[in-house]
Structure 1
Amino acid sequence: MSEVQWNRLTAAQIRALAAQDAVVLLPVGATEQHGPHLPTGVDDFLAAEVCRRAALLASEHTGVVVTPSIPTGLSEHHMAFGGTLTLSLPTLHALLRDICRSVIRAGFSRILIVNGHGGNMTALNALTTELTAELSTPIAFASYFGAGREVVRDTLETQDGLMHACEGETSMMMAAYPELIHGEHLAEAHGPHITLPAESTEPVYMAVSFDRITKSGVAGDARVASPQKGETMLSGCARALADIILRDPWAR
């Protein structure tokens, strides 16, 4: 099947996918500042794009459908820059619960929440456990950049993984949405290297506003980004996500 996006299918087509026990991908992103050169929708756009590509790959072997993405996540740490929308944790929980409940009522039993924003990671790990208990259905969770960690690491020149508005995110945006890049600001698009909170080895966690970490709004170095790197990472992350789908973690 060439169409995998829920909101581009008819109700009859979706019922047919449910009858096949198709996998449902639920992309979750964020709407927040991404430095001087990228739009605020980066995390939403990239999560949805990787899900679309992964679904097309996996649909050669099993039924897959991608829900409309959730474009807003947990972005309190970016609010100081402006241009950012954020949810509270209870709101994100309620939103995910209602969407997952609707998916289950539509006849599906295999849901994979796919995250595109580092600030969502720890919350979505916990919420996945809550949703599995509340809905009596096994919900799975993955960050696309975690699934594709190896290809991201092997492709980037200046960093080992995604940071923020960095070489990696900028490269993927160049590949998927080149019309949204503000190339005249690329020279300013660099900042300190950071570690995602969920991957930190620090013994103590404290909330820190992102403007205290980087004045440019960028963590990492976007100046060495390229569309070729971006296509390699998008394709590799999609393949890694498709492999997760085909391993069927819900069958455990």
Structure 2
Amino acid sequence: MDGVTARWADGGGLLPAAGIPGGELADVVAAADFAVLPVGAVEWHGPHLPLGADLVLAEGFASESAASGPGPRGVLFPPVAYAACPGQTRPWPGTVAIRPEIAVGYLADVIEGIVAAGFPRLLVVNGHDANMSTVRAAMEWVSGRRTASLLLVNWFQLVTPAETAELYGDAIARGHGGAYETSGVLGFAPETVRLDAAADLPPRPKLPVDHPYVLVESRPDPWQGWSGHVSLATEDVGRTVRATAGARLREIVAAWVAAPPPAPPTADPLPQPPTADPLPEEDA
């Protein structure tokens, strides 16, 4: 194994796409099991977290998607940094928001470009909740044009609410900029977090129902562009979050690359249902 792909000599792991010489791309494509694209945002998360918190999480967990040693081989593409942001954070300083229709088109072009380069399996690791709808829409568009298996994983969902309750107790921890997200950033970039810069800001309780719903509100009270019990976040918990979510991401990837590849899209007309035989005259 020569050139860039020699880094895979001991098995799996990730290669950074930006460092692959063009002349070696074909060899990398042939040896790779999948490509991975982190998607984040530049967004206010309160005075205690960096503006690039979602990028820290997306890039961090993307780097956890394939371990060195035996296992799948991935190619890590540079992240999508800017995103559509909710009305709750757009007015706050440092948030750089793009329009949703621009985000969908941009993501569609990026995803199709990676697939067209020869990577039919693409993992998108998301660090910003608002990306879930725009990435999904872009994936659906690309899958109708290219033979592609496109997997979207949101880091936030890799640790369950029951598990965060074990980590943080009864306090609501999963709000924007709250203890869970702060712990996640501490797991990758503790030097960027200022725990003493923000007081606890308990988020508004969820509605007292068990049914699924999506609630979008302009300025939920209390709200300062973030909410949560920041004092519950620690580096130790951050390492636990990173280890737990990273292991689950690798389990997902291993099952995904082991599954059969998809068939190519088709523009052929849909098959028609069989027509019923006419009834005999005596039965008509």
**Structure 1 length normalisation: TM-score?**
0.84
Letter paired with 2:77? T
Structure 2 residue 230 is matched with structure 1 residue 225: no
- Establish whether residue 113 from structure 1 lines up as the match of residue 124 from structure 2: yes
Higher relative contact order, structure no. (Cα contacts within 8 Å, ≥ 6 residues apart) = 1
- Please give the secondary structure, in 1, of the residue aligned with 2:65: helix
Q: Pick the aligned partner of 1:208 from 208, 217, 226.
A: 217
Aligned to 1:33: 44
Structure 2 CA distance for partners of 1:129 and 1:147, relative to 1, 3 Å: farther
Deviation at 1:42, TM superposition (A): 0.5
Whole-angstrom distance in 2 between the partners of 1:161 and 1:241: 21
SS in 2 for 1:55: coil
Q: Please, which runs of 5 or more residues in structure 1 have no aligned partner?
A: none
Q: Deviations over 1:174-213 (max 9, x none)?
A: 2321221123313x24231566xxx9833x75x423x444
The residue aligned with 1:128 is: 139
Partner of 1:219, secondary structure, is: coil
Q: Is the 8 A contact 1:194 1:219 kept in 2?
A: no
In the TM superposition, residue 21 of structure 1 has moved relative to its aligned partner by: 4.1
Q: Tell whether 2:251 aligns with 1:243.
A: yes
- In angstroms, what is the RMSD of aligned CA positions? 2.7
Distance 2:127 2:205 in 1: 17
Q: Which moved more, 1:241-250 or 1:35-44?
A: 241-250
Q: Once the two structures are superposed, what CA deviation does each residue of 1:78-131 show, in whole Å capped at 9, x if it has no partner?
A: 112221111222211222222122212221110111211122223333332222
Q: What runs of 5+ residues in structure 2 fail to find an aligned partner?
A: 1-7, 263-284
2:81 is the alignment partner of 1:60: no
Change (3 A) 1:64 1:13: farther
Aligned to 1:166: 178
Per-residue CA distance 1:140-179 (angstroms, 9 max, x = gap): 2121222343755543435576321111111122232122
Q: Is the 8 A contact 2:40 2:55 kept in 1?
A: yes
Q: Mean alpha-carbon deviation: is it higher for 60-69 or for 224-233?
A: 60-69
Residue 31 of structure 1 contacts residue 41 of structure 1 at CA under 8 Å; is this kept in 2?
A: yes
Give the SS at the match of 1:121. helix
Partner of 1:155: 167
SS in structure 2 of the partner of residue 102 of structure 1:
helix
What fraction of aligned residue pairs are identical, expressed as a percent?
A: 22
Q: Is the 8 A contact 1:31 1:43 kept in 2?
A: yes
CA contact (8 A) 2:66 2:72 kept: no
Q: Indicate conservation of the 8 Å contact 2:103/2:134, yes or no.
A: no
TM-score, normalised to structure 2's length?
A: 0.75
The residue number in structure 2 matching 1:182 is 194
Three-state SS of the structure 2 residue aligned to 1:76 is: coil
Report if aligned partners of 1:52, 1:66 keep a CA contact under 8 Å in 2: yes
SS of the residue corresponding to residue 112 of structure 2 reads helix
Q: Distance in 2 between matches of 1:64 and 1:146?
A: 22
Is 1:113–1:140's contact at 8 Å kept on the other side of the alignment? Answer: yes
> How many Å separate the matches in 2 of 1:194 and 1:116?
23
Are 1:151 and 1:237, in contact at CA under 8 Å, matched by a contact in 2?
A: no
CA distance in 2, matches of 1:194, 1:92: 30
